[in-house]
Amino acid sequence: MHRAESEAIEWDEVHMLAPDVEDKHTLAQLARMAGNAYAVPGESSWYELDRTWNRTFRLGWQGSADGFRGHVFLSPDDSIVVLSIKGTTLNGPTSKKDKFNDNLLFSCCCAWVDFSWVFNKVCDCYAKHYRCDNTCLSEALIEDSLFYNIGVEMVTDLRYTYPTSSIWLVGHSLGGALASLLGTTFGLPAVAFESPGERLAARRLHLPLPPPDARARPPHAPVTHVYHNADPIPQGACTGWGSPCASAGYALETRCHLGRSIVFDTVTKFGWAADVRKHPIREVILNVLEAQLSIGDGWEVDEDGTVRDVPVARYEEDCVDCFKWEFGDYKKPKL
């Protein structure tokens, strides 16, 4: 890829079993799985699921493990395997590595925001005057400490263990972005809740993105993002002086997503204001997906008057990340 000598990839469209993202109950169950990636069975923060998903096992929760964590949920006949990936925890064993992954994946250039961030940057690709070295970024993203690489190994193991099963990926925030990146890597359905924009990270990782079709300008990936518009994080709006993300040391600057996005308009429907406190997965589960609306009231109305319980999944067209930055080969290669 560095020498621009890789051959063009030929794509064949394959139909597979995937979650029905137009069904509110299905989305709520997947969101509960995403929430359970933060806990273990028996804890107060564990969400009960339909009996179909009573079989589960943990990944990355052994002892004092401080990295990639999640749960696997199995249907009764093992026909469906769901890997749920944990997102960022502000305080806990994984917090340090969570922040490292956030700042590497979702910042424009190694979490270089300004001179005050010189001790927060996660790689050395900044080349002054809002210029960033592409080759350096690609190399930084293949470090062993990146959760994406650990996820590749875990998905590979799941495919080997369950060769005839349909494997789905879900997650919230950082976990949702990882689910999307892994789903794009393996061509597996992924549903991400309240996740920062991961399209830029996918390009830097040189993931095999299918070409856009006549209906979709962005790369057509098997990913569905689900978020509400009172959460600034998936919209790339938790930035700048005084923002809670920047104050906590997180450079969450990207906003463009892979696949399609289902956006719940909680600002209009509920009168919510933009607030990072609306980001936790419990807000999505209890106050959006499982909220009791008035009879006959939905989230959208089609042209034919049909009331929809779930907004239409749409492609994010004309979305641009890091518009004030220049990316190119600005640093001399190491000898």
- CA separation for the pair 266, 264 (Å, rounded): 6
Counting every residue written for the chain, the total comes to: 335
- Mapped onto helix, strand or coil, the DSSP state of residue 96 is helix
| Residue 333 lies inside a defined structural domain of this protein | no
CA distance 24 to 222: 19
Each residue's pLDDT tens digit in the chain (335 positions)? 556 566 777 888 888 899 999 999 999 999 999 999 999 988 999 999 999 998 999 988 887 778 899 999 999 999 999 999 999 999 888 999 999 999 999 999 999 987 778 778 899 999 988 999 988 988 888 776 689 999 999 999 999 999 999 999 999 999 999 999 999 999 999 999 999 999 999 999 988 887 766 555 556 789 999 999 999 999 999 998 789 999 999 999 999 999 999 999 999 999 999 999 999 999 999 999 999 887 678 898 888 888 899 999 999 888 999 999 999 888 766 55
Judge whether 11 lies within some domain: no
Q: What pLDDT does residue 116 have? A: 77
Domain-embedded: residue 174: yes
DSSP bridge partners of 56: 73
Domain of residue 246, CATH code: 3.40.50
Number of Cα atoms under 13 Å in the Cβ half of residue 190: 33
Domain count, the chain: 1
As annotated, the active-site residues are 173
Structure tokens at 274: 């933009």
**pLDDT for the residue 5:** 66
Report yes or no on 90 lying in a domain: yes
> What's the pLDDT at 221?
86
5 inside domain: no
Per-residue pLDDT at 144 = 63
Residues 226 and 191: beta-carbon distance below 8 Å? yes
In a domain, 196, yes or no: yes
What is the extent of the structural domain holding 237?
24-328
In this prediction, residue 242 carries a pLDDT of 83
Tokens of 142: 């293949």
- What does DSSP assign to residue 206? T
Whether residue 234 contacts residue 199, with contact meaning beta carbons closer than 8 Å, is answered with: no
